[in-house]
Amino acid sequence: MTPVRWFCGAFLAAAMTLALPGALSAEMVYHRGNTGDPETLDQHKTSTIYEANILRDLYEGLVAYNAAGEIIPGVAESWDMSEDGTVYTFHLRDDARWSNGEPVTAEDFVFSLRRIMTPETGAKYATILYPIKNAEKINTGKLEPSELGVTAVDDRTLEIALEAPTPYFIDLLGHQTGLPVYPPAVKEHGTDFVKPGNMVSNGPFMLKDAVPNAQVTLAKNPNYHDAENVAIDKVIFYPTEDRAAALRRFTAGELDSNNDAPVDQVKWMRENLGDEFRVAPYLGTYYYTIKTDKTPFDDPRVRRALSMAIDREFIAEEIWGGTMLPGYSLVPPGIPGYGEPSYVDYKDDSILDREDEAAALLKEAGFGPDNPLKVEIRYNTSENHKKTALAIADMWKPLGVEVSLVNTDVATHYALLRDKGDYDVARAGWIGDYADPQNFLFLLESNNPGFNYASYSNAEFDALMRKAAAETDPDKRSEYLHEAEAIFNREEPYIAMLYYGSLNLVSDRLKGWKDNILNIHPSRWMSIEE
């Protein structure tokens, strides 16, 4: 095997600098705003960022993230890759422990990876691990979980075989779906293993309490292998869907950080909060999903007309206060080695010309003054999302489109989308789990029901994604993905609208925070300065 080894020493040394002299004198509590109440704390059923923020504190996978959002060794202190790139061998650290003191073993990861692929688990995000050998066949009921390409060579050695070389595989393991579950807890409690008192975790923190719509409380895990360098004693996550209320709590000193901010107060925050209001580039796309298996939204002309009439520049600047950029592609720009994404062909046309073409398309599709197109826009609770929806309703009005708005809390909103509930157009967003265009385009694969909110199905698109997955030549792979993007742009099952910037409120008292493109900030690296 060709060695591809990583070691933790430098990271541990860096982490030691985070422990402040006063850390031992009193309990250090991190009050952390989190933009939604978790629908689940089951890492195999999770699908949102606000759940990932909590799960990354509770568990540690084979790999983890440092303060800068970079992959570092986790339970695996090193790993090797075979010369053909299809087999990884992970060497687990001797001091990895569950919160009850039991050792973390290779067999725990075998159990966990089989569980997420078992169809009965209902993991909506299982597709992210499809590069593992036989994963897709198991997840679709064609093979037994025991056929998954994962093997515990011994307690400290885990082997993972892939279907084909996957350059971003180690990055995939950093995702929350790669976090292990404690097998005895799952076997004893079933789905209730996630409850306080039942959960056994292996990360820097343990679950102490979870009160719906109020808070999730974590306590430092004394059995974590790097516990001596974890400064925070307790993390309290608060659901902060109301960004304006979160800002008030932050300025009152009730929150040490919040992972979003009200865009209508950007000017005030920049003038009054200084460096405590942080805006950074973010690998993500804000979009509207359209239900393509519902008349009349199954007509590409209707979808294209709705997309063309949206003034993205106005929304980015006037609604989002310049914290977002106008977006004309599902894949955001800036991904290393990919070049420019494939943009929709009307990107550089004037909005007036686009409105005229949009009106003509709707007329061609049978809509006009005597037969107006009626569209319901659904969005999850946020003033930012509400104002965006209202602005788009105004932009569609000259086309004769009659718009109604429906608002629900974030858990209800995404449950409806994932479970194929009825809707016309709905707000959604995707933040890259790793810097690769596949992580955006896979959303529209027909075998990805959990995130293909549009119920889109195109055989040519699927074939190109399969070819890209099997291609080892980077240039050819990029070509296939660009071709898949071109199909997306032609049919527009999603209306790509904005590229994200991350907005965070970060108190001067909170040390260890580093802005990064993935906007990942594990509490492990934080401390509070009184």
For residue 255, the one-letter residue type is L
Q: Encode pLDDT of 475-505 as tens digits.
A: 999 999 999 999 999 999 999 999 998 999 9
For residue 489, the one-letter residue type is N
Distance CA 385, CA 406 (A): 11
Distance CA 529, CA 482 (A): 48
CATH class name, domain 281-501: alpha beta
Average of per-residue pLDDT across 290-306: 98
Q: Encode pLDDT of 341-362 as tens digits.
A: 999 999 999 999 999 999 999 9
pLDDT at 8: 39
**DSSP bridge pairs for 32:** 237, 257
The answer to whether 498 and 320 are in contact (CB under 8 A) is: yes
Query: Maximum distance among all alpha carbons in the chain?
Result: 74
pLDDT at 232 over 50: yes
Question: What is the separation of C-alpha 254 from the centre of its chain, rounded to a whole number of angstroms?
Answer: 26
Residue 375 phi, psi dihedral angles, 5° rounding: -130, 130
pLDDT at 15 over 70: no
Tokens of 185: 């807890």
Which residue did the predictor score with more confidence, 468 or 234? 234
Distance CA 526, CA 2 (A): 36
Distance CA 311, CA 65 (A): 37
pLDDT at 9 over 70: no
User: pLDDT-based confidence at 12, cuts 50/70/90?
Assistant: very low
Q: Encode pLDDT of 100-113 as tens digits.
A: 999 999 999 999 99
For residue 383, the one-letter residue type is E
CATH class name, domain 2-239+507-528: alpha beta
pLDDT at 486: 97
The answer to whether 155 and 142 are in contact (CB under 8 A) is: no
The answer to whether 136 and 130 are in contact (CB under 8 A) is: yes
Average of per-residue pLDDT across 384-411: 96
User: pLDDT-based confidence at 25, cuts 50/70/90?
Assistant: low
User: pLDDT-based confidence at 228, cuts 50/70/90?
Assistant: very high
Distance CA 429, CA 408 (A): 16
Instruction: Tally Cβ neighbours within 10 Å of residue 401.
Output: 22
Q: How far is CA 144 from CA 88, 120, 164, 237, in A?
A: 22, 12, 20, 38
The answer to whether 60 and 202 are in contact (CB under 8 A) is: yes
DSSP strands (E only) in 13-156: 29-34, 63-65, 71-73, 76-81, 87-92, 150-154
The answer to whether 198 and 65 are in contact (CB under 8 A) is: no
The answer to whether 271 and 67 are in contact (CB under 8 A) is: no
pLDDT at 305 over 60: yes
524: DSSP letter? G
Distance CA 487, CA 333 (A): 18
Helix (H) or strand (E) holding 407: strand 402-408
Going by C-alpha positions, the residue among 441, 465, 463 that lies closest to residue 452 is 441
Q: Encode pLDDT of 156-206 as tens digits.
A: 999 999 998 888 899 899 999 999 999 999 999 999 999 999 999 999 999
**DSSP bridge pairs for 368:** 371
Which residues have C-beta within 8 Å of that of residue 419, sequence separation ≥ 6?
Answer: none
User: pLDDT-based confidence at 134, cuts 50/70/90?
Assistant: very high
Beta strand 234-239 with 29-34: parallel, antiparallel or unpaired?
parallel
| Average model confidence (pLDDT) across the chain | 93
Distance CA 300, CA 215 (A): 43
Q: What is the pTM of this model?
A: 0.75
User: pLDDT-based confidence at 381, cuts 50/70/90?
Assistant: very high
Q: What angle do CA 46, 50, 56 make, to 5 degrees?
A: 70
Residue 421 phi, psi dihedral angles, 5° rounding: -70, 175
Q: HSE (CB half, 13 Å, CA atoms) of 244?
A: 7
The number of residues making up the chain comes to 530
User: Would you kindly state where each structural domain of the chain is located, as residue ranges?
Assistant: 2-239+507-528, 281-501
For residue 70, the one-letter residue type is E
Q: Encode pLDDT of 276-285 as tens digits.
A: 999 988 899 9
Q: HSE (CB half, 13 Å, CA atoms) of 226?
A: 29
DSSP-assigned letters across all residues of 432-446: -SSSSTHHHHGGG-T
Q: What angle do CA 170, 171, 173 make, to 5 degrees?
A: 65
Going by C-alpha positions, the residue among 326, 321, 332 that lies closest to residue 243 is 321
Number of H helices, E strands in the chain: 16, 20
Residue ranges in 79-181 assigned as alpha helix (H): 106-117, 135-139, 169-173
End-to-end CA, the chain = 50
DSSP strands (E only) in 229-352: 234-239, 257-258, 277-290, 325-326
398: DSSP letter? G
Distance CA 375, CA 365 (A): 15
Which residues have C-beta within 8 Å of that of residue 371, sequence separation ≥ 6?
Answer: none
